[in-house]
Amino acid sequence: MDQIVFETALGYVALAERNRALLALTFGHATERAASRALALRLKGLEFPAGDSAATGYQPEELIDRLQEFARGEPSDFSDLAVETPGATSFQRRVIDACRAIPWGETLSYGELARRVGRSGAARAVGSVMSANRVPLVVPCHRVVAASGGLGGYSAPQGLAMKRRLLDAEQRTTALC
């Protein structure tokens, strides 16, 4: 497993990958050390399946560049990156995949995301999957909001202020297109 820490416009980012598949990512930290600690917590207790994960062919430098662009508010798509989800249930994997399909600048409610994975009425379960998201930005859980129009929750550093910042940046960019 490789770990990388670097600075972006959103603060320090730390990520862990195995065979070019993302295991965990954390962002928005004030220091390199804080990002490393948050990554260690995110990885704690994970058990990895035997054998190799699927390789995606991206180079770490390419991923860093793409995350830097995202942090600057430039439209970014991470749908081609492999994400390892050890221990995830079938439902959790479907929610993660459906979340990854939400385009830049758009949002879905927790309830709508539940409907898209065939579990109408499971908005709270979707919220639980989002709150446990180990790879935010790549799995853009900030694009999932409350049905009332509120932001819902966000577990990244700076919480809802960061979620609002990400959504505002995407809206500004989308309006320019």
**Which portions of the chain are predicted below pLDDT 70?**
48-58, 174-177
Report the pLDDT value the prediction gives residue 99, as an integer from 0 to 100. Answer: 97
Catalytic residues, which ones? 141
Report the pLDDT value the prediction gives residue 57, as an integer from 0 to 100. Answer: 60
> Exposure of 130 by Cβ count < 10 A (0-12 exposed, 13-18 middle, 19+ buried)?
buried
Task: Give the whole-angstrom CA distance, residue 177 versus residue 161.
Answer: 25
Query: Are residues 169 and 175 in contact, defined by beta-carbon separation less than 8 angstroms?
Result: no
Report the pLDDT value the prediction gives residue 48, as an integer from 0 to 100. Answer: 66
Report the pLDDT value the prediction gives residue 167, as an integer from 0 to 100. Answer: 94
pTM: 0.89
131-148 residue pLDDT tens: 999 999 999 999 999 998
